[in-house]
Amino acid sequence: MSQSKYAECIKACIECAHACEHCADSCLSESDVTKMAECIRTDRDCSQMCWTAAAYMSRGSQFIPEICRICAEICEACAAECEKHNMSHCQACAKACRKCAEECHKMTGVHV
């Protein structure tokens, strides 16, 4: 993909969006979905913002610092929720969220 200064962050956003979509779907297949409700909600919010951030970065938008700031915030909230659950999809999602938050933080001070 792109060799731009956003390449690593785009990659982390896409990995995170993918992990969140997969985690939400896997949560819906658990034997007790009721206790996964909050995880499904944060997965939904996080995946949408990560896909969105990837799009803004792909076109070099002037709003990348602001988008990455909110994306990092939502990723951290989603990671905190996923970390409460032992299932491998939640643990993998938490890890992708932490990585994405880290990469997004680096973009918040980027000069575009």
Out of 47, 79, 82, 103, point to the residue binding a copy of itself (CB under 8 A).
47
* Nearest-approach distance from CB 8 to a copy of itself, in angstroms: 14
Helix H, strand E, coil C: the string for the chain is CCCCCCHHHHHHHHHHHHHHHHHHHHHCCCCCCHHHHHHHHHHHHHHHHHHHHHHHHHCCCCCHHHHHHHHHHHHHHHHHHHCCCCCHHHHHHHHHHHHHHHHHHHHCCCCC
Out of 8, 9, 12, 45, point to the residue binding a copy of itself (CB under 8 A).
45
Out of 3, 5, 12, 34, point to the residue binding a copy of itself (CB under 8 A).
34
13 within 8 A of 33, measured Cβ to Cβ: no
24 touching a copy of itself, by CB under 8 A = yes
* Positions in 64-93 near a copy of itself (CB under 8 A): 66-67, 70, 73-74, 77
112 touching a copy of itself, by CB under 8 A = no
- Give the residue from 79, 80, 73 showing the smallest Cα distance to 104: 73
Nearer to a copy of itself, 11 or 106 (CB): 11
Q: How many residues bind a copy of itself (CB under 8 A)?
A: 43
Out of 3, 8, 9, 40, point to the residue binding a copy of itself (CB under 8 A).
40
